[in-house]
Amino acid sequence: MTKIKICGLRRIQDIEYANQLWPDYVGFVFSQSKRMVDKETAKTLVECLDTNIKSVGVFVNEKIETVCEIATFLSLDVVQLHGDENESYVENLRKIIDVEIWKALRIGTPDLITETNADKILIERFVKGAYGGTGISLDFNSVEKFEFKKPLILAGGLNISNVEEGIRKIKPYAVDISSGVETNGYKDFEKMKEFIEKVRNL
């Protein structure tokens, strides 16, 4: 069964929604974004999160020391690297903390590298000048020409209307959604519920 990650949680209310709906993962953004949270706020949220739901910290070109500090402070299950972090960065991160690492790759970038020493690969559409959070959907057909040797997390512009096509064509380990389950910039319980039910019924 395809796993589900709901990203960009920033309110206690969002955590309450997650605890009722049980996605497999929830994400907390620690890079410049309207969904960004500081580590103290995230600590409060994580402490309220059902222990069966895994926590993911999203970082963009952050200092390794800062990533490790936040990951340790929050006891994160996963660190998601969403910038230009290279294999050396991942290796150095592993030497300091024992945590699962996801690396985001943007399909369509001229210098796309399909191999990584991270545990899993998150794929989304390349948008110049942006590191995710664009809400722009990936061309699912464009992924077929690439060979990835790690489990894939499908992200970028997912919603109730296109997630079935994405899962059937790409067969990802997990799907990752944020703006697709929001109304006016905030998580919407009914949209989260509909999306989770749709994925789990496939």
Q: Which residue has the tokens 């960009």?
A: 8
pLDDT in tens, 135-170: 566 778 777 777 788 999 999 889 999 999 999 999
Domains in the chain (CATH in brackets) are 3-201 (3.20.20.70)
Confidence of residue 115 (pLDDT cuts 50, 70, 90): confident
Q: What is the pTM of this model?
A: 0.92
Inform me whether the pLDDT recorded for 28 exceeds 80: yes
pLDDT in tens, 73-109: 999 999 999 999 999 999 999 999 999 999 999 886 6
- Mean pLDDT value across residues 173-184: 96
